[in-house]
Amino acid sequence: MLWVDDEKDLCGLAKKIVTSRIESKVTKVLMAQDGVEALELLSKHHVDLIVADVLMPRMDGLELCENIRKKFPILPVILMTAYQDRFDARDCIVKGAVGYFTKPFNVDEIRVLIDRALKGMPVN
């Protein structure tokens, strides 16, 4: 799994979230600070899911999602945002995300979303 967010504290929390109590066991969690770094990691590592923030420097989550769809068409992407007022869920789906959530988030709900995405089930 690859977690992409420019908030370093949230990346550390994400690792704890996804490596415990998820039915579809996640054995490795990679971290990236933006979409550019995420694409670099994807060129070197296999991942089965990406969770990415929408607003990030250099390359935002929507642009990252578009790039992933071109190179890895079946790789599931879940997008997240802290800015509900500037967020359009339809954009996420149009760009190819399987789902989305807003920050701050409920840890148990995120675990369910991640597990559903890893199983190929609808997320939202």
* pLDDT tens sequence across 82-124: 766 555 667 777 788 898 888 888 888 888 888 889 888 877 7
Residue percentage of the chain with pLDDT more than 70:
84
State the DSSP H helix or E strand holding residue 81, giving kind and residue range, or none if neither: strand 77-81
Half-sphere exposure of 67 (CA within 13 A, CB side): 17
Max CA distance (Å), the chain: 36
For 19-55, give the DSSP string. Answer: TSS-SS-----EEESSHHHHHHHHHH---S-EEEESS
Lowest mean pLDDT among 32-36, 63-67, 68-72, 102-106: 102-106
Between 3.40.50.2300, 3.30.70.100, 3.30.1330.80, 3.90.550.10, what CATH number should domain 2-107 receive? 3.40.50.2300
Domain ranges of the chain: 2-107
According to the model, what pLDDT value does residue 84 have?
Answer: 63
- Give the residue with greater pLDDT, 51 vs 17: 51
